[in-house]
Amino acid sequence: MRLAQMIKWGASMQQSRKRYIIPVGLLVAGLCLSAGVMIAGMTLAEPENEYEAVIGEAAPEGATPFEQRIQMIAMSCAACHGTDGRLQTAIPLLAAQPAAVMRAQLLAFKQDQMPDATVMPRLAKGYTDEELEALADYFSALSRKANPGSAL
């Protein structure tokens, strides 16, 4: 929608006497002008790929797009399982678990074969079997400790 159309739309909404509607076109025009002033002279670099757009840094050298996607998915696991799956609480540790066991569990979550599970069946259904298997391989390749000498 062009700026002139937005202003005209805002004015027509104001004329409709709906008290809860502000002149949207003017508001949008003001925000656009403010944003233009704030970024004037700045150049915004476009991310090179999805990994860089999501993570904010360059993808690991030599990683295929699928491997990059698995790393991004694995980062979402950190919300419950900790960074790199190393959180040691009531929620299971993922790092360094046997890949075959993790594969079987993830696929069982996806197929509703884990009756006592809470959120994992819903999450697992959002991924392909190949992605779940790759996640199992990813976490099994990690060490249990973040750094040598770390408390984790």
Spell out the domains of the chain, with CATH numbers in brackets: 3-39 (no CATH), 50-140 (1.10.760.10)
Give yes or no for residue 121 having a pLDDT over 90: yes
Give yes or no for residue 130 having a pLDDT over 80: yes
Percentage of the chain beyond pLDDT 90 is 31
pTM for the predicted model, two decimal places: 0.60
Tokens of 76: 């979402």
Task: Return the higher-pLDDT residue of 93 and 21.
Answer: 93
Give yes or no for residue 53 having a pLDDT over 60: yes
Task: Give the span between the Cα atoms of 142 and 82, in whole angstroms.
Answer: 13
34 pLDDT band (50/70/90 cuts)? very low
Give yes or no for residue 141 having a pLDDT over 80: yes
Across the range 17-32, mean pLDDT stands at 49
Q: How many CA atoms lie within 13 A of 2 on its CB side?
A: 3
Contact 15, 7 (CB under 8 A): no
When the pLDDT of each residue in the chain is averaged and rounded to a whole number, the result is: 74
Tokens of 90: 């009531």
User: Tens of pLDDT along 59-106?
Assistant: 778 888 888 888 888 988 988 998 888 887 888 889 999 999 999 999
